[in-house]
């Protein structure tokens, strides 16, 4: 029996399949359920729900190419990854972007790097400092 979900987040997006693929590939989350309007991704006791914004709202949102980072939000999702340098390449291949290596920093026991997903939502990736 899997552990109960104790923490999680919901992110509202325009393109559910694209963002599902991004978070699965970059953050290593497993897709446990999906439908046209949402997907559920999990890792241990953490659950990320990717949910489509209503069509009436989506019509008023424009995602630039490349996406413009949405830094005016008070929320930043954090994911632990085995390697920020590998995740940087994977993020780029899936439409997102991480800051360059020279903009990484140390925090507690982690090496840390900010970036964004394919719709500009800000994320932070951490790896255990070696």
- 2 in a domain, yes or no? no
CATH number for position 49: 3.10.180.10
Taking the model in full, what pTM does it have?
0.93
With pLDDT > 70 as the criterion, what percentage of the chain qualifies?
A: 100
**Which residue range forms the structural domain that includes residue 40?**
7-55+64-128
Taking all residues of the chain, what is their mean pLDDT, rounded to a whole number? Answer: 95
Q: What is the pLDDT of residues 75-108, one digit of tens each?
A: 999 999 999 999 999 999 999 999 999 999 999 9
The reported pLDDT for the residue numbered 113 is 98
Q: Is residue 22 part of a domain?
A: yes
More confident residue, 73 or 98: 98
How buried is 117 (Cβ within 10 angstroms: 0-12 exposed, 13-18 middle, 19+ buried)?
Answer: buried
> What's the burial of 15, exposed, middle or buried (CB within 10 Å: 0-12/13-18/19+)?
middle
pLDDT at 115: 98
Domain count, the chain: 1
Does 42 fall in a domain?
yes
Is the residue at 1 inside a domain? Answer: no
pLDDT grade for 130, boundaries at 50, 70 and 90? confident
């Amino acid at each position: 029996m899997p552990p109960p979900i104790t923490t999680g987040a919901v992110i509202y997006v325009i393109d559910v399949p694209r963002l599902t693929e991004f978070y699965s590939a970059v953050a290593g989350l497993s897709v446990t359920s999906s439908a046209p309007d949402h997907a559920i991704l999990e890792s241990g006791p953490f659950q990320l729900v990717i949910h489509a914004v209503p069509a009436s709202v989506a019509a008023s949102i424009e995602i630039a190419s490349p996406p413009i980072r949405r830094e005016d939000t008070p929320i930043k999702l954090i994911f632990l990854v085995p390697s920020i340098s590998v995740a940087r390449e994977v993020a780029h291949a899936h439409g997102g972007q991480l800051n360059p290596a020279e903009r990484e920093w140390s925090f507690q026991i982690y090496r840390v790097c900010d970036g964004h997903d394919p719709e500009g939502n800000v994320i932070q990736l951490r790896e255990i400092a070696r």
